[in-house]
Structure 1
Amino acid sequence: MAISARLRWAAALLLVPAVAAILSKHLSSRRGRQLPLPPVVVVPGYATNELDARLTELYRPSSPCCAARKGQGWFRLYLNYTALEDPAEVRCFAEQISAAYDAVSDDYRNAMGVETRVPFFGSTRGFRYPDPDRRNFSYMDRFVSRLEGIGYRDGETLFGAPYDFRYAVAPPGHPSSVGTAFFRRLKGLVERASRINGGRPVTIVAHSYGGTLAYQFLLRQPLPWRRRFVRRFVPVAAPWGGVVLGMLTLVAGNNLGLRFVDPLALKGAYRSLQSSLWPLPSPSVFGAAQPLVTTRSRTYTANDMPDFLEAIGMGAAVGPYESRVLPLFRELPSPRVPVACVVGVGVDTPEMLAYPGDGFDVAPRMVMGDGDGLVNLASLVAVDRAWRRHAALVKVRNVSHTGLHVDDRALAVVITAILLPN
């Protein structure tokens, strides 16, 4: 992004309270006709979209309850509030959503006898409400509704790229069947979105973990393809260097934002996932000197992730971490397309976890720093200097990680980033 473009965008952002006027000018030409909207592909954040499953004859349930859907076809595994309110169903959910690393094939796979699929690829339908029955949990619906309010239409100018959030991709030389399949579908979707919009290039908007996935996708496409099909990349709250809280979720479990579910009930399932290793703090961003976790007799920095994994009983994950995760984040080269990073700052964010003893069986004292409540500031801005030739970064103060798609000021920034010309 040239300096003049950065200045134009900065100037436009000063008018965020009057963003409706900005949008109005974009949507209508001097002749009163609507200007074409740049096509948009949205890559949602972690555990935001639906995930279906079916249980085959190879499935061996831990209890009769968990076999209830065996042989009954596809059902919604995630998200189903009704099922997860039953502790017995939580146990079955954990069993069926788990994955496993196969050292022989050097890849991750589903639990035996569990087949999965991601519904509604190409549409925003699969992540507007992860539980479409209740519609009581969403931070993407308001963002999609705002886009529809200025003329975007699902499947015409607006497209969704949901994915199986349990998986990720791996460095060259290591297989990643699920991640590779997603990238193949995403490439086809971008090309289709461009084709049905008169050949215009596409803006890729991605939130959080989806931002790091979309970034890896861009790096793997030939530069001529990127320049032909990608108008702009808009990562929102992307954790370029991981998060300190990523270490805590491996210790205490991750209930995927479901407050009525005990995180410990999903601890084993979460630890089994390929994507659970991606949030670990990267040495390239956090360095070797900053203490991230302390116990009575040990301090762990970003350089000590293998030792940390061993200490919390995840020694089997050290190999996949060192070969499939760490190499992806040693460097953060520019994707060499125009980039508009939007981040939240000014929210207390854990930057060190202090355990009183030598174990991890009690809650740590948290030392707070700046960030968006989940992602640390150092991770949010890690690419700012290195990508400066192609990128601009805007910090929205006092807005949380998910609030960036809900807060009016943040939505104005994101939509402005989508609409402004390069």
Structure 2
Amino acid sequence: MEKTRILTRLLCAVGLCTLISAVSALESSPILLIPGFGGSQLDEKNGNYDYCNTGGNYKRVWYDLFLWRTRICSKDLQLRYDKSSNTYQNKTGIEVRVPGFGETKAVEYSAKLAVFSLGKYMRNLVQHFAKCGYKRGVSIRAAPYDWRLAADELDRTGYFKEVKGLIEEMRKANGQRVTIVAHSMGGLVSHYFLTGYSGINKSWKKKHIKAWITLGTPWGGAVETIQTVLASKRTASDWWKVLVPYGRTFESTPWLLPKPSLFGDKVLVETNSRKYTANDYEKLFDRINYDDGFAMFKGTQQINSDKYPNVPTYCYYGKNLKTPERLTYKFGIFHILLYKLFKSDSIKNIKPKITHGDGDGTVNIDSLRVCNTEWSGRKEFKSKEFDSADHKGILSDTAVLEDIAKIVGARDCGSMEQLEQLLEALN
């Protein structure tokens, strides 16, 4: 046995471990990654006369290392909403593009320049499969998108046509059907692609899709989204501060709010004078002067259905982590007077008391489990809960990565243990 270990190390030293991994990858399903909210890099071309003018070139706006440029120029990410057509446009003089379509580097790090773990997103997941012989840009690729938009606007801009073309390219190049791995909002986006995009049908899916894996998808929205809508730069979480107040203009923001069909009359926000449920958004948005908020919310509610995608589906998510469930804003006499006299948006100036429930730290457990409620009787459906796998951490959770490897048919390749077993059998 000791001789086997020594020989194994010698063979790995000359690259045979990598060779075995590459051969294993040839038999595996290629992987297409679809990121969540904020998981794609964004570039801007600014022709306006201000600090953020890009001189006719594209520059990174989401996001740069340490958020220096992002903090100043995130105002250029705000959208203009046309209530009559329920459509969204960039600000006048601004163009925004998503770099790196098809490349994993576009989702491995959210920042253009990454140092150590700063800005790390899907890096660990990609690295894991690279060790199993997957090749970036060939057998593992990514479909980043403009996460300011919901699926209907992405469809209108041609995103899903690009996704379809990328999947067909991967199918042809690898000789195997593709597995879609989608994180967070990416699960909603990919669900629309599989069920609502008119450019594909059942026979196309059968030919090109091996499986669809969702990780931490907020099927019914998340209470944390309300907190971001109500926040100011002073009260927002660190990463959201750079998007306040412009994040209110994104179509994806109301799309990710708690759905009335799931949360019903459950109190989500409480102030001194009243309580708000998911059925009270119109009154809540009026209270905070979110003028188009309710119209935007109504416009997103018909985007996703509960339609089953008719491909093997795996719904994975974390649980048993403290997750915002209820926000309580208690005002002092000063805040009450400001609101009574000037209709001042007092909520945004106060950090709420947060009542927590179960979930993955970001998405509430009832929302994560909607896939079970809707599809549990399906033959090719499987869901799995991972204890203490948080919303972002699920992308590097060992148990999750091992499960994905089994689904795509990737063996535990590249390990010395596997080579040891092979050599031992030959002795």
TM class by shorter-chain length?
0.7 to 0.9
The structure 2 residue matched to 1:297, chosen from 254, 265, 273, is 273
The structure 1 residue matched to 2:74, chosen from 63, 82, 94, is 94
Shift in Å at residue 230 of structure 1?
Answer: 1.3
The structure 1 residue matched to 2:402, chosen from 407, 412, 418, is 412
Shift in Å at residue 343 of structure 1?
Answer: 0.3
Matches for 1:104-123 after TM superposition, within 5 Å? 104-123=84-103
Preserved contact between residue 203 and residue 232 of structure 1 (Cα < 8 Å): yes
Instruction: Structure 2: state its 5+ residue gaps.
Output: 1-18, 337-345, 412-427
Tell me the secondary structure at the aligned position of residue 383 of structure 1: helix
Tell me the secondary structure at the aligned position of residue 284 of structure 2: helix
What letter corresponds to residue 161 of structure 1 in structure 2? A
Shift in Å at residue 102 of structure 1?
Answer: 2.1
Deviation string, structure 1 residues 82-133 (Cα, Å, up to 9, x no partner): 5x337xx623x12211111123543101111111111110111111122232
Q: Does 1:343 align with 2:324?
A: no
Hey, what does 2:425 align to over in structure 1? none
Preserved contact between residue 32 and residue 142 of structure 2 (Cα < 8 Å): yes
Q: Tell me the distance in 1 between the aligned counterparts of 2:61 and 2:140.
A: 26
Hey, what does 2:58 align to over in structure 1? 74
Shift in Å at residue 138 of structure 1?
Answer: 0.6
Q: Does 1:274 align with 2:254?
A: no
Matches for 1:245-284 after TM superposition, within 5 Å? 245-253=224-232, 259=238, 263=241, 266-284=243-261
Shift in Å at residue 249 of structure 1?
Answer: 0.2
Shift in Å at residue 177 of structure 1?
Answer: 6.0
Tell me the secondary structure at the aligned position of residue 204 of structure 1: strand
Q: Does 1:53 align with 2:44?
A: yes
Deviation string, structure 1 residues 327-359 (Cα, Å, up to 9, x no partner): 235x41211211111101111001111111474
What letter corresponds to residue 216 of structure 2 in structure 1? A
Q: Tell me the distance in 2 between the aligned counterparts of 1:214 and 1:228.
A: 17
Hey, what does 1:38 align to over in structure 2? 29
The structure 2 residue matched to 1:65, chosen from 51, 54, 76, is 51
Shift in Å at residue 195 of structure 1?
Answer: 1.6
Change (3 A) 1:310 1:416: farther
Q: Does 1:148 align with 2:130?
A: yes
Preserved contact between residue 150 and residue 300 of structure 2 (Cα < 8 Å): no
Preserved contact between residue 44 and residue 59 of structure 2 (Cα < 8 Å): yes
Q: Tell me the distance in 2 between the aligned counterparts of 1:33 and 1:363.
A: 52
Hey, what does 1:11 align to over in structure 2? none
Change (3 A) 1:268 1:398: same
Preserved contact between residue 29 and residue 409 of structure 2 (Cα < 8 Å): yes
Hey, what does 1:167 align to over in structure 2? 149
What TM-score do the two structures reach when normalised by structure 1? 0.81
Hey, what does 1:242 align to over in structure 2? 221
Q: Tell me the distance in 1 between the aligned counterparts of 2:308 and 2:161.
A: 21
Name the Cα RMSD after superposition.
2.6
Q: Tell me the distance in 1 between the aligned counterparts of 2:62 and 2:269.
A: 32
Shift in Å at residue 402 of structure 1?
Answer: 0.5
What letter corresponds to residue 346 of structure 1 in structure 2? N
Q: Tell me the distance in 2 between the aligned counterparts of 1:294 and 1:47.
A: 28
Tell me the secondary structure at the aligned position of residue 92 of structure 2: coil
Preserved contact between residue 139 and residue 403 of structure 1 (Cα < 8 Å): no
Deviation string, structure 1 residues 21-45 (Cα, Å, up to 9, x no partner): xxxxxx979xx97651101111012
Change (3 A) 1:340 1:297: same
Preserved contact between residue 342 and residue 414 of structure 1 (Cα < 8 Å): no
Q: Tell me the distance in 2 between the aligned counterparts of 1:132 and 1:177.
A: 23
Change (3 A) 1:117 1:415: same
Q: Tell me the distance in 2 between the aligned counterparts of 1:45 and 1:417.
A: 21
Shift in Å at residue 271 of structure 1?
Answer: 0.7
Change (3 A) 1:179 1:208: farther
Q: Does 1:208 align with 2:178?
A: no
Change (3 A) 1:334 1:117: same
* Percent pairwise identity: 30
The structure 1 residue matched to 2:288, chosen from 312, 334, 359, is 312
Hey, what does 2:424 align to over in structure 1? none
Tell me the secondary structure at the aligned position of residue 174 of structure 2: coil
Q: Tell me the distance in 2 between the aligned counterparts of 1:274 and 1:185.
A: 21
Between 200-209 and 176-185, the greater mean CA deviation after superposition: 176-185
Q: Tell me the distance in 2 between the aligned counterparts of 1:228 and 1:283.
A: 37
Hey, what does 1:22 align to over in structure 2? none
Preserved contact between residue 132 and residue 410 of structure 2 (Cα < 8 Å): no
Matches for 1:316-395 after TM superposition, within 5 Å? 316-322=292-298, 324-329=299-304, 331-357=305-331, 359-360=346-347, 361-388=349-376, 389=378, 390-395=380-385
Q: Tell me the distance in 1 between the aligned counterparts of 2:233 and 2:399.
A: 29
Tell me the secondary structure at the aligned position of residue 103 of structure 2: coil
Tell me the secondary structure at the aligned position of residue 328 of structure 1: coil
The structure 1 residue matched to 2:109, chosen from 124, 129, 132, is 129
Shift in Å at residue 268 of structure 1?
Answer: 1.9
Q: Does 1:232 align with 2:232?
A: no
What letter corresponds to residue 283 of structure 1 in structure 2? P
